[in-house]
Structure 1
Amino acid sequence: MAKCHRNNVGSVVLDHRHPAKNAATAGHFRWNSISASSIRRIVLDAVSCGTSRYGYHQRHDDDDEGSSSAATSTASLASGSRRENRPDQKTEKLADLLNLTGCENEAEAKKKEEALVELKQVVKDLQQGEDLAKRRMAATTVRSLAKERSEVRGTLAMLGAIPPLVGMLDSEDVHSQIASLYALLNLGIGNDANKAAIVKVGAVHKMLKLIESPDATNSSVSEAIVANFLGLSALDSNKPIIGSSGAIPFLVRTLQDLDYECSHQAKQDALRALYNLSIFPTNSSFILETELVPFLVSSIGDMEVSERVLVILSNLVPTPEGRKAISAVKDSIFILVDVLNWTDSPECQEKASYILMIMAHKSYSDRQVMIEAGIGSSLLELTLLGSTLAQKRASRILECLRTDKGKQVSRSYGRGSLGADISAPIFSASPSFTKASGGGGKGYLEEEEEEEDTMSEEKKAVKQLVQQSLQNNMRKIVKRANLRQDFVPSQHLASLTSSSTSKSLPF
């Protein structure tokens, strides 16, 4: 192929015809030995050789490209068909989902419409003033619908179900009263707007009217009213309205249950309702007008109600009247001091320490009663083993008691020095005095030294007792809390008995 593309046609001819001679002559040609026709034929052969080869290769390349392009086009068509099939499948699935969602939305919307129609019919039945049985059935339906579904409560209130239910409380039929009371109770569950609306339309006064009526002998009505007071008193804006309405004496009577007619659940509801009402400060005066405080103090010890009882007392003790009422109860401080030793109930310890802290901070006589009750050892143990809040409150009580002790020591020291100045004999510097002082004076000094030795022994004994108590308490701490062994109790005790005389109550 290389020879066919040479420009020297003669060399091609010579090399082809006379190879040996050409090698000897080294490129000298003889053109006369070749005819013109032979040259033309050779030239045509050479040209045709290159053209044929080029054409062959070109055709071969074209065939390869054609076959590859055909394969490529076939593959692209196949892939294109697959790609076209894939979007079709996705589109079909998406359409199915949209249709299914649309069907579900339509079914849900239809269901909601039916539910709304049912609620409208229930409210319409409540407003039927003539047919009492129909209204009672509608109230029962409201009770069942509003019990579990929170959205129904709001819808019924917007449709106007509350006023006719409150109006049913004026009925003389007990079953209608109970149905309306529990319907109102369920409408107010978790819905502050409904609670406010129920009080606004005068439900509280109608409930109290039912209780005060001479025919009110059904305990079921009373229990339903107590449950309503519990739910309505959870809203802050309702607390002063219920407290000033006269509901507190009724709740106290229910809690005391002197006639043994109320159920255990009604008593629990009354106690919780009184707790809600005691949070509002102005209700304290209404509570203190009843016999609630003595009953609460006597109830301490029942672990089922002790914590809530202590919370109510904690809400009353900040007022002077509340502190006076608690102090007036026999052995109230002794009972509260005993609560400090309830290691299995830290919440009760915290609340009892708060009550005692307020009383100790405000009243000297209460502090003296606490000392008589043996509060010192309980406080010492509480500062070491109690919760963080109980430890802080116990330390504040210790500060109040320590301040009183310091004042007593200073007063006794002042009185003793004053008496010594007044009654001290005036001796002259005579020899008789020197002699007397050598005898009687020496005995007087010896008595003083013996008294000091006796006092020091007492102090040593007290110190040893305190150290032993600290060591025992530290062993308990290590066992309960797994504290480090190098914990120094004396440093902690020193921090509790610091020289601060502040009596502020940050807790």
Structure 2
Amino acid sequence: MGEEEEEEETTVKSSTTVKVSSNQEEEAWNLRKETQIVELSERIMNGDLKTQIEAARDIRKLVRKSSAKTRTKLAAAGVIQPLIFMLLSPNYDARHASLLALLNLAVRNERNKVKIVTAGAVPPLVELLKLQNGSLRELAAASILTLSAAEPNKPIIAASGAAPLLVQILSSGSVQGKVDAVTVLHNLSSCAENIHPIVDGKAVSPLINLLKECKKYSKFAEKATALLEILSNSEEGRIAITDSDGGILTLVETVEDGSLISTEHAVGALLSLCHSCREKYRELILKEGAIPGLLRLTVEGTSKAQDRARTLLDLLRDTPKEKQLSSSVLERIVYDIATRVDGSDKAAETAKRLLQDMVQRSMELSMNRIQHRAASCTPSTIPSK
């Protein structure tokens, strides 16, 4: 046998040895993990309180280093129910350890999310939201956030009375607590029947305040404006937006500075206001200087945002002559927007196209109104010449 063949055979043997060794190590690790899962379930189900607290902490450590499969196996081993019982304990350490264990069991595991809620975790979590202790309260909010990501859990959480307590966190929680609370409310809002508990919880004012403080293009702003748009579809929500200090102005600023998603929701909220009572809200929106941002959005927004912005501009332009924008002011605004969009070389052409589009839409709107009035007139009410 030549040297090259010997070397090749040695390499193959070495590679085979490595694979065998690797497989053996993996099998040994899996066996240790299986044994650990059995031991943890035994300790959490049958131990005294001190043993249960230690077991809950070990469950958290194990799942943080493991895959979703380990989370599923722990749940199948029966650890969820004892952890939920620990949430009811007057002992702080028991509550804290069980909260962290349940939170980690639910992360990236839809089956465990549903199992935890089905096992009755929501009522004790809601009770923890009522505590003055910020740490436990915000861990409970984080747990509810994780659980609310599973669709089957949303109606159960919405019906639990959690929403008003989460709204309180919007006003008084830590930064992370506020982020979690907004995200939970956003998750729950995807079901139409969940809106009223959020409105009843007086969410609008703290949402406006949070939107004022955050970066308008952030993910947080996207969730906050999505909630505000939903809430603007109810009379309670519209009144709350108007009554909030700087409510309409904050939405106008989001139209100007927000991300594609947040601008779409912000203009949706403004449009909802104006549709509900044009005479009342049109003046308030115009007063906050909405026109430039809306004009920009007709060029730069998503297709939905562009349509909404055009519709709202039509509503806002239908004002008494003395309150309309003069042609020179409007042309200057459009030219400035065109410069930012296409650069100074093409600004004149873009501005001309935008103005032509606005004029065309205005003519179409006027014609529609004339036709509508003509159709609604009876022979006896048509004015004589």
Verify same fold: TM over 0.5. Answer: yes
**Offset from partner CA, 1:45-99 (integer Å, 9 cap, x none):** xxxxxxxxxxxxxxxxxxxxxxxxxxxxxxxxxxxx76xx876765564344334
CA drift of 1:101 comes to 2.0
**Offset from partner CA, 1:97-154 (integer Å, 9 cap, x none):** 334322321222122111211111111111115x111111100000111123223212
Separation in structure 2 between the aligned mates of residue 97 and residue 313 of structure 1, nearest angstrom: 61
Q: CA RMSD in A?
A: 3.2
Are 2:199 and 1:284 aligned? no
**Offset from partner CA, 1:414-445 (integer Å, 9 cap, x none):** xxxxxxxxxxxxxxxxxxxxxxxxxxxxxxxx
Are 2:322 and 1:322 aligned? no
Alignment of 1:142-161 (within 5 A): 142-150=59-67, 151-161=69-79
CA drift of 1:178 comes to 0.7
CA drift of 1:161 comes to 1.5
- Contact between 2:38 and 2:77, CA under 8 Å: does it hold in 1? yes
Are 2:51 and 1:134 aligned? yes
Are 2:15 and 1:97 aligned? yes
Structure with larger Rg: 1
Separation in structure 2 between the aligned mates of residue 294 and residue 360 of structure 1, nearest angstrom: 19
- Contact between 1:353 and 1:393, CA under 8 Å: does it hold in 2? yes
Alignment of 1:87-486 (within 5 A): 90=8, 93-129=11-47, 131-150=48-67, 151-212=69-130, 216-257=131-172, 262-304=173-215, 306-329=221-244, 331-342=246-257, 347-364=261-278, 365-383=280-298, 390-402=305-317, 404-405=318-319, 462-479=326-343, 484=346
**Offset from partner CA, 1:210-267 (integer Å, 9 cap, x none):** 455xxx453322122111111111112211111110111111112212xxxx433223
The corresponding residue for 2:374 is none
- Contact between 2:338 and 2:347, CA under 8 Å: does it hold in 1? no
* Secondary structure of 2:256's aligned partner: coil
The corresponding residue for 1:71 is none
**Offset from partner CA, 1:294-353 (integer Å, 9 cap, x none):** 2222333212554432222023223454334434545533442343333x7555433321
TM-score (norm 1): 0.63
Counterpart residue identity of residue 264, structure 1: V
CA drift of 1:278 comes to 2.2
**Offset from partner CA, 1:466-496 (integer Å, 9 cap, x none):** 33443344334444xx763662422222223
Counterpart residue identity of residue 192, structure 1: E
TM-score (norm 2): 0.81
The corresponding residue for 2:375 is none
* Secondary structure of 1:146's aligned partner: helix
CA 1:360 to 1:100, structure 2 compared with 1: closer, same or farther past 3 Å? same
Separation in structure 2 between the aligned mates of residue 470 and residue 253 of structure 1, nearest angstrom: 43
CA drift of 1:389 comes to 5.2
| Higher-RCO chain (CA-CA 8 Å, sequence separation at least 6) | 2
Separation in structure 1 between the aligned mates of residue 281 and residue 326 of structure 2, nearest angstrom: 25
Counterpart residue identity of residue 175, structure 2: H
Counterpart residue identity of residue 140, structure 2: I
Structure 1: which 5+ runs fail to align? 1-80, 410-454
- Contact between 2:230 and 2:269, CA under 8 Å: does it hold in 1? no
Structure 2: which 5+ runs fail to align? 370-385
CA 1:178 to 1:103, structure 2 compared with 1: closer, same or farther past 3 Å? same
Separation in structure 1 between the aligned mates of residue 10 and residue 85 of structure 2, nearest angstrom: 58
Separation in structure 1 between the aligned mates of residue 358 and residue 329 of structure 2, nearest angstrom: 18
Separation in structure 1 between the aligned mates of residue 311 and residue 195 of structure 2, nearest angstrom: 26
- Contact between 1:139 and 1:179, CA under 8 Å: does it hold in 2? yes
355-364 or 170-179, larger mean C-alpha shift: 355-364
* Secondary structure of 2:346's aligned partner: coil
- Contact between 2:338 and 2:348, CA under 8 Å: does it hold in 1? no
